Chain A
Amino acid sequence: MADEIKRTRRIAIISGKGGVGKTVITANLAASLSSLGRRILVIDADLGLANLDILLGVEPKLTIHDALHGLCTMEEAIIPTAKGFDLLPAGSGLPEGALLTSTITEQLESTLSSLESRYDAILFDAGAGVGDVVLHFADLAHEILLVVTPEPTSLMDAYATIKILHQQYKRNDFLLIVNQANPAHFQQTGVALVDHLRNITSKFLGTDQPVRLELIGSIPRDPAIPHAIMHRQLLREINPQAPLACLINQLAGVLDVRVQ
């Protein structure tokens, strides 16, 4: 899956640990990629605890659950957002065990294939943890983007996620965004953290198929982010010229190279 060349790139945004800003980053990156002229679909892949719709201020009538259970088509559940990209929302409250039956995974795969012609990139906003749903969406993706913060717990969970995907799913390539870094030197923090992870993965995860980690960029802690969440707005909507909004655009630019 990882090495297939397809017109539509599937990018899974995962983290291991929850609360690292994955959904906020997904939404902001999707909007920036859309502003670059890309046709973007975001799938709320946090099937058990979806909240992308809340962040985007939309109230979906149909969700991916309805589509997967035959109550509507996947196309009917997709809604355009005012942010420039489309959203396939998910529901909340379903236990993980009830979600990934073999029928549903087959249906998901065929739906993704049918959507290929409509979008340049499909972003999966996965949930926290390393449950079957998260790992399945990561396995479906061409690119795996891991969001990590400098907290030791986040670092540990990111490493555990990489280890599982490497050993069980034979994934070797990971993109990283370091979020919530010290604003005084967030760039250096990102580089140091990813260098450290590279050292650990090369030491412990074997050399036959080495793990390759690529830092997409670092995002500093910024009060503008909780402010944007509270107001259900993206950073570019609050102030498109703000450094943080520009930074997100830069990260989207790096990602855009892979979408082309």
Chain B
Amino acid sequence: MREMNKQSPEPKNSLDLTMALRVLQNAGRQIPQLTGNDADIEVQSIIDALCDLSIHDGLTGLVNATFFHAVLAREIERNLRTGRACGLMVIDIDHFKSINDTYGHNTGDVVLQSVAARMKNSMRRMDTAARIGGEEFAIILPECDPADAIHAASRIHSMFNPLVIPIGQTILQLTASAGLVWTNSNMPINSIALVSMADQEMYRAKRSGRARLCYTQPESTVISQTERSALMALKLEGNAHGR
């Protein structure tokens, strides 16, 4: 595609400009203005627009599931290399189906867009928010130790409980259930398995009454007072313990 210039105007793998422009138009994207002054720049701007389209969810503007998994895989790799953990938060809107059934899909779409807007406003610049399913969202929290991830995810989740959305004369009050996990450089894992773990935490939140964030605290390696007392109970005759 890049070879399409003044010297070779009709290469074999040429970009179908008409179709590309139609795709962008249908997606509601801004159409690059074609002046004919510089074919390279114009084609590049169309390619850029198509690339941008290919990684984003058309409805919410968040990144899509394909790109999300690529980012998550990169962060898992980074964790293995540097040891710095990465948090993964999965958010699912509670009772979303009944909203669709009661108010229609257009209202459902507005809800999804509102959730996406809240996510964008509440996350850090380095985080990546994605729509990974119908009403399921995820946020990648790079360089977060468990304590940092819990803090960040709690702050994000607080934006959804409740999420108030005015729809005409009606005011919807929604909640969301969320699950949080983090990478562990001692336990290599792929992005799909990590999302599955986060889903498990999210389902636990649903089972526990919804509208909450669930995560499993990492096991503490600190020796408790009970362990200490139990250890020191040993009496060895003639050794330091028995003296």
Question: CB within 8 Å of B: which residues of A?
Answer: 102, 139, 149-152, 155-156, 159-160, 163-164, 167-170, 181-182, 184-185, 189, 192-193, 196, 199-200, 203-204
- When the two chains form their complex, are residues B227 and A200 in contact, meaning their CB atoms are under 8 A apart? yes
Smallest distance from the beta carbon of B39 to chain A beta carbons, Å?
45
**How far, in whole Å, are A39 and B224 apart by their CA atoms in the complex?**
43
Grouping DSSP codes into helix (H, G, I), strand (E, B) and loop, the B interface class, with mixed when no group exceeds half, is loop
- When the two chains form their complex, are residues B236 and A163 in contact, meaning their CB atoms are under 8 A apart? no
- When the two chains form their complex, are residues B81 and A102 in contact, meaning their CB atoms are under 8 A apart? yes
- When the two chains form their complex, are residues B223 and A163 in contact, meaning their CB atoms are under 8 A apart? yes
Q: Which of A102, A139, A150, A167 contacts B236 (CB 8 A)?
A: A150
- When the two chains form their complex, are residues A159 and B239 in contact, meaning their CB atoms are under 8 A apart? no
Chain A contacts for B37, CB-based, 8 A: none
**How far, in whole Å, are A150 and B235 apart by their CA atoms in the complex?**
10
Nearest chain-A residue to B228 (Cβ)?
Answer: A156
Q: Which of A168, A184, A185, A196 contacts B234 (CB 8 A)?
A: A196
Question: CB within 8 Å of A: which residues of B?
Answer: 81-82, 184, 186-187, 219, 221, 223-224, 226-228, 230-234, 236-241
**How far, in whole Å, are A136 and B10 apart by their CA atoms in the complex?**
58
Smallest distance from the beta carbon of B167 to chain A beta carbons, Å?
48
Nearest chain-B residue to A100 (Cβ)?
Answer: B83
With A152-B232, A200-B231 as known contacts, state yes or no: A182 contacts B221, CB within 8 Å: no
- When the two chains form their complex, are residues B228 and A182 in contact, meaning their CB atoms are under 8 A apart? no
Q: Which of B187, B219, B239 contacts A150 (CB 8 A)?
A: B239
**How far, in whole Å, are A203 and B226 apart by their CA atoms in the complex?**
11
Contact sample, A vs B, 27 pairs, CB 8 Å cutoff: A102-B82, A149-B240, A150-B236, A150-B240, A150-B241, A151-B239, A152-B234, A152-B240, A155-B231, A159-B227, A160-B221, A163-B221, A167-B221, A168-B221, A182-B236, A184-B238, A189-B236, A189-B239, A193-B234, A193-B236, A196-B233, A196-B234, A200-B227, A200-B230, A204-B224, A204-B226, A204-B230
Chain A contacts for B234, CB-based, 8 A: 152, 155, 192-193, 196
With A102-B82, A160-B223, A204-B227 as known contacts, state yes or no: A170 contacts B187, CB within 8 Å: yes
Chain B contacts for A182, CB-based, 8 A: 236-239
With A170-B186, A182-B238, A184-B238 as known contacts, state yes or no: A164 contacts B231, CB within 8 Å: no
**How far, in whole Å, are A137 and B147 apart by their CA atoms in the complex?**
27
Nearest chain-A residue to B80 (Cβ)?
Answer: A102
**How far, in whole Å, are A203 and B82 apart by their CA atoms in the complex?**
34
**How far, in whole Å, are A200 and B184 apart by their CA atoms in the complex?**
26
**How far, in whole Å, are A176 and B72 apart by their CA atoms in the complex?**
41
Q: Shortest 7 CB-CB distances between A and B: which pairs?
A: A150-B239, A182-B238, A151-B240, A196-B234, A167-B219, A164-B221, A182-B239
Nearest chain-A residue to B187 (Cβ)?
Answer: A170
Smallest distance from the beta carbon of B76 to chain A beta carbons, Å?
15
Chain A contacts for B233, CB-based, 8 A: 196
Chain B contacts for A160, CB-based, 8 A: 221, 223
Chain B contacts for A169, CB-based, 8 A: 186
Chain B contacts for A149, CB-based, 8 A: 240
Smallest distance from the beta carbon of A203 to chain B beta carbons, Å?
7
**How far, in whole Å, are A150 and B234 apart by their CA atoms in the complex?**
9
Q: Which of A139, A170, A185 contacts B237 (CB 8 A)?
A: A185
